[in-house]
Amino acid sequence: MKFSRIASVPALVFVLAACASTPTTAKYEALLETLKGRSEKDLIDVWGPPDSTYELGAEKYLTYEQTGSVYVSASDPAFSEGLAGGRSHTRGISSMRGYYMDTSCKTTFILTGGAIKEWRHEGNSCKTSRDVAAESAPAEVPS
């Protein structure tokens, strides 16, 4: 019994470490929240020049876009076993070939009076593994 408890501690540490470094949208949004109130210059110093800008009245919109693709590897086939007519049989249920999936993230910062007031994002890769809740450094380009 003692061995299983001791063996489970490293496993728990491994699982927690893996969760901590998993990119999530929640972490990305937490990172964006740290930028509220910062100046346009601060944003450009860290994220670089925006891909597009737009002004409407007193508001300025700075948009950053990232696109790419990731390879999703093939899955192993799944099988089903059963009995039919008194005979055992196995049949393949599914398998999937590998494929490339397009990724994108479009983040727009809305500035009023030269400071970031709000943000919005869209896309399937607006994620980061950086946990800004656990640090106090300025927000950088997400990784």
pTM here? 0.67
The CATH number of domain 25-74+105-134 is 3.30.479.30? no
Tell me the per-residue pLDDT of 18-70, one tens digit each, with 9 for 90 and over: 455 799 999 999 999 999 999 999 999 999 999 999 999 999 999 999 999 98
* pLDDT at residue 132, as a whole number: 82
Confidence of residue 1 (pLDDT cuts 50, 70, 90): very low
Q: Which residue has the higher pLDDT, 56 or 88?
A: 56
Lowest-pLDDT choice from 63-67, 72-76, 97-101, 139-143: 139-143
DSSP 20-50: HTS-BHHHHHHHHHTTTT-BHHHHHHHH-S-
129 vs 20: CA distance, rounded Å: 7
Confidence of residue 74 (pLDDT cuts 50, 70, 90): confident
Parallel/antiparallel/unpaired status of strands 87-96 and 75-84: antiparallel
The pair of structure tokens assigned to 57 is: 């009245």
The dihedral built from the CA positions of residue 111, 115, 118 and 123, taken in this order, carries a sign that is positive
Per domain, the residue ranges of the chain are 25-74+105-134
* pLDDT at residue 12, as a whole number: 43
74 vs 64: CA distance, rounded Å: 32
58 vs 1: CA distance, rounded Å: 67
Backbone φ and ψ for 126, nearest 5 degrees, come out as -80, 75
